[in-house]
Chain A
């Protein structure tokens, strides 16, 4: 577990400590003023030589205020004052603290990289009948690669041979085996479960899902949270200020009292605790752990700032279709007006031939036959209203009331639950197709879970009619329902909410990331769901939930709240202990021993505290 460097340092610390103890004991019997410093110098040299060396080298390089320098000055001053045992102790404890810090950071790094172990190191290719391993970076798009049982899929692609179950756990956090066969799309990072697959790649390695996710999580650390920026700024001024105070403390009272030794000793205590390491390491580590924990449950948080913001969410705005509901529309009713039902459905299916709207897809599915696109021309989508197209030379409109009204078509209003689509041909009303969507099973539980995490208000936006939206809202326990919205209305509504909210409160928007990219980007936190394989959604959102499990929103909020809490504890702890030591040191109550133990101790405790974030996915 220890690296070579760590092991070497550990031996040095142990040898130094043993020698130090020996010298301490023998010092009781030696009263020669020349022998003592020499004896103490031996453990000092063993423990501290690299610190002193680094301090000297850094000064040459123009780096003055670093911890090596400060520890060196403090211990040299102690030597000069005849406090030999303190001089060694300061360095010894400093090194013990450094060792623990290195170990703890290494450990959390390891657990993070294990968790990120979704990208395979190699790709299998068949060359002249032999399977060879290649670097995934060198595989051009369209290559046929081989994935054996138990291997991870390295690059996104389409199965060209074989059948298997793949496990998406590494991406979604949940182990749901998915059956794949020839023609299925497979994503990198998934585990191949039961049969050898041949896959034709559709992306380069670096554009594949797993590599993208890895990059996102790694880059997340660069989008710093406010609290993190605060600590970096604080750290930048803290060291010079404390060092300045140390100089003043060494000079002014000494001139007044004439007791130089005592005040220089007290000033050294300032130097010993002038490193802000506890904050500088533990705060980013905490966020990193939180982001890592979220990614383990299949939630990608694209920056520490977003995780921090998540802990302040007061309002969650949901898009209805595809987010709270399954987005699997089914034609539930066909009400023809003067034509055959089949004829009406055919007309609607043809007009919707080019639309990707869920409603269009379900109309085509209900039609059941291949849509003859050569019969369709001038297909055009009117956002939030429907489509218009020329079918067999006739102008056909398929859409909601608005579309009919705007085109001056008289129609029979239907009030079925679901999405009602009116069909008109050459300005004449032909009938109605009703499509209904099912509410997701976990939607209700997810909303009450959010409420118990401190979310005050859940809002639902829908392009549907008021009656449909209200019915869904009531079932789910939504506080506010806005229906009948065009995409632009949704942006406006969310903007309004952003204006009215409290200064610290945050508003999250949850959508599927396909049609709602603008809303995702203006909300404080844009959350896209069910995005496995959808680059656009991953790009637009701040937080990406790989599958469509709504309960993960509340889980993410929980992780965020906990992370921020741990980080606050660390800041209070570190600053509190340092303040106490500074006061005690000034008053002459604390000695250098106490100062270095407190400083090192606080750093270790803060790091250990931050490491708790690594296991939060188990919450």
Chain B
């Protein structure tokens, strides 16, 4: 399942790259692209665990840039 999310307060380009790298390693994630310019995350992941994957991704984002929120 592929879905697009807005990222709120993604303020640093490097952090975006770090998040992308870390989220791509969550089991069940096929592909993830974070665009710093458009503040969007496009994620293609296992539909069965989609919600838990997004929760996990949010955890990663908070770790790297605490203000950054995935708007669901």
Contact = CB atoms under 8 A, between A and B. Distances in A.
Contact of B13 (A61, A66, A112, A280): A280
Nearest to B33: A222
A94 to B, nearest CB: 13
Interface string B42-63: 1000000000000000000001
B61 to A, nearest CB: 11
Contacts of B36: 221, 281, 284
A102 B36 CA distance: 12
A204 B10 CA distance: 31
Given A5-B9, A63-B63, A277 B14 contact: yes
Contacts of B12: 67, 277
Contact of A232 (B17, B63, B66): B17
A347 B38 CA distance: 57
Contacts of B18: 63
A57 interface: yes
B37 interface: yes
Nearest to A109: B37
A288 B9 CA distance: 19
B24 interface: no
A263 to B, nearest CB: 29
A277 B13 contact: yes
A452 interface: no
Contacts of B40: 218
Contacts, number: 52
A285 B35 CA distance: 11
Interface in A376-428: none
A113 B37 CA distance: 10
Contacts of A54: 66
A218 B35 contact: yes
B64 to A, nearest CB: 6
Interface string A56-97: 011001110011000000000000000000000000000000
Contact-size category for A: 20 to 34
A277 B12 CA distance: 9
A235 interface: yes
B63 A235 contact: no
A219 interface: yes
Contact of A112 (B9, B14, B37): B37
A66 B65 CA distance: 11
Interface in A236-292: 276-277, 280-281, 284-285, 288
Given A5-B9, A61-B63, A219 B42 contact: yes
Contacts of B64: 58, 61, 63
Interface string B1-34: 0000000010111110110000000000000010
B38 A221 contact: yes
Most A-side CB within 10 Å, residue of B17, B38, B39? B38
A570 B38 CA distance: 21
Contacts of A58: 64
Contacts of A218: 35, 38, 40
A549 B18 CA distance: 41
A221 B34 CA distance: 9
Given A277-B13, A281-B13, A219 B63 contact: no
B13 A284 contact: yes
Nearest to A223: B33
Nearest to A106: B11
Question: Among the interface residues B12, B15, B37, which one has the most CB atoms of the partner chain A within 10 A?
Answer: B37
A222 B15 CA distance: 15
Contacts of B42: 219, 222
A102 B11 contact: yes
B35 A222 contact: yes
A432 to B, nearest CB: 53
Nearest to A283: B13
Nearest to B15: A66
A57 B65 CA distance: 10
B53 to A, nearest CB: 19
Contacts of B63: 61-63
Contacts of A113: 38
Nearest to A65: B14
Interface in A523-538: none
Contact of A285 (B14, B33, B37): B37
A389 to B, nearest CB: 44
Contacts of B17: 232, 280
B10 to A, nearest CB: 10
A290 to B, nearest CB: 12
B35 to A, nearest CB: 4
A222 B42 CA distance: 10
In the A-B complex, the 6 residue pairs with the smallest Cβ-Cβ separation, listed nearest first, are A222-B33, A61-B63, A221-B35, A280-B13, A288-B37, A281-B13
12 contacts: A61-B64, A63-B64, A66-B14, A66-B15, A109-B38, A221-B35, A235-B14, A277-B13, A280-B17, A284-B13, A284-B36, A285-B37
Interface of A: 5, 54, 57-58, 61-63, 66-67, 102, 105, 108-109, 112-113, 218-219, 221-222, 232, 235, 276-277, 280-281, 284-285, 288
Interface of B: 9, 11-15, 17-18, 33, 35-40, 42, 63-64, 66
Given A112-B37, A113-B38, 15 more contacts: A5-B9, A57-B66, A63-B64, A66-B15, A109-B39, A112-B38, A218-B35, A218-B38, A219-B42, A221-B33, A221-B35, A221-B37, A284-B36, A285-B37, A288-B37
